[in-house]
Amino acid sequence: MIEVIKPGLETTVQDWPGRHGFWNKGFPVSGPMDSWSMRMANVLVGNQPGDAALEAQFLGPTLKFQIDTVIAVCGGNMRPKLDGDPLELWHSHQVLAGQVLELTAAISGARAYIAIAGGIDNEIILGSRATFAKAGVGGIDGGALKVGQVLSVFPAKGTPGMIVPESARPKLSKTRTWKIEVCAGPNDDWIDKPGQVRFFSADWVLSAKSDRTGFRLDGPEWSFTPRATNKPPEHGALPSNVIDHGYPMGAINLAGQTPIILMNDGPSMGGFINPYTVPTGSFWKLGQARPGEILNFQEISVQGSQKIAANLKKMCSQGTLLKTS
């Protein structure tokens, strides 16, 4: 059992790959924004990569452990401390009953992941333990952590003293600029050639008006092909309007002139075009990007995106870990 002393900023329970199979009913995938870091945290403590863990964003929680267990903290650096002593990221650590883990404001990255040996034991809803707070589904009481809540974990021994080597850790941007891979489509043919060139050459600024639903971007205007400007009136008045259709997770959804990357808790359909899509293997970069930072986009093939995802899956395994001396 783990008591929430301070909840942090929207700290939630997430699992990977999240809540699949209910997109047609309006339930998004949810799950971790940076699945690389969460999977590695789980592997460090001896869990399966997808077991339920905590996602903290920008400001982490303070937790009091009522059991002996093993934990790991990975992802953004929220300066974790155990009973006031610094706790190394990307390591597994023994924790004794009565000890307190404290995470503070992130000094690099945006999201940190706390894995506990055995995984968090919360109710499975629609095949997942992940939190979808806007619908009150999953997690602890359907939302972010609150003061005084108690988290249950499955019994497990765990293995302290393990470490993720530097080569297997995501490289957080030190320049406040991120190179984000995208695949063309499903509606790239609605954007004319000059508009496509501007998209890939621009510095897109991540807006503070962003959350787990969508990341709003500030940048240059878009221009369109005749397919967008000469369409039937039932498609809508704006060039980026279209008769309602399905949205893929990671779609760069063009609402008028404002691109919004549809994130883990994003909508499943709507009436705007999606010229490009960020593949799931590149989502970890978005999960660690902070408002005001710059996103530069680079086109890759579908096969390239599948290769990124396959490499990540292979890396997030026990065979990657090292034993500390």
Domain identity same for 186 and 72? no
Residues whose CB falls within 8 Å of the CB of residue 284, separated by 6 or more in sequence, listed in order: 33, 34, 35, 36, 37, 170
Q: Give the three-class secondary structure for 269.
A: strand
Domain identity same for 122 and 206? no
Q: Please report which helix (H) or strand (E) contains residue 260, including its range.
A: strand 258-262
Task: Indicate the pairing of strand 269-277 with strand 251-255.
Answer: antiparallel
> Which pLDDT belongs to residue 91?
97
Domain identity same for 188 and 99? no
User: Which of 164, 199, 218 lies at the terminal end of a domain, its last residue?
Assistant: 164
Residue-number span of the structural domain to which 151 is assigned:
2-164
Residue 172 lies in a domain: no
Domain identity same for 47 and 137? yes
Q: Assign residue 235 the CATH number of its domain.
A: 2.40.100.10
Residue 324 lies in a domain: no
Among the listed residues 142, 140, 122, the one whose alpha carbon sits nearest the alpha carbon of residue 27: 142
Residue type, 88: E
Domain identity same for 272 and 146? no
Residue 84 lies in a domain: yes
Residue 216 lies in a domain: yes
Residue 23 lies in a domain: yes
Domain identity same for 134 and 200? no
Q: Classify residue 79 by burial, with Cβ atoms within 10 Å: 0-12, 13-18, 19+.
A: middle
User: Which of 118, 139, 164 lies at the terminal end of a domain, its last residue?
Assistant: 164
Residue 159 lies in a domain: yes
Domain identity same for 128 and 196? no
> Which pLDDT belongs to residue 234?
87
| Per-run averaged pLDDT (10 residues), the chain, 325 residues | 95 96 90 97 97 98 97 98 97 97 97 98 95 94 95 93 95 94 96 97 97 96 94 90 92 96 95 96 96 97 95 91 81
> Which pLDDT belongs to residue 325?
61
Domain identity same for 10 and 150? yes
Domain identity same for 193 and 229? yes
Domain identity same for 109 and 195? no
User: Which of 109, 141, 164 lies at the terminal end of a domain, its last residue?
Assistant: 164
d(CA 58, CA 283): 17
Domain identity same for 65 and 137? yes
Domain identity same for 187 and 158? no
Tally of domains in the chain: 2
Residue 30 lies in a domain: yes
Residue 319 lies in a domain: no
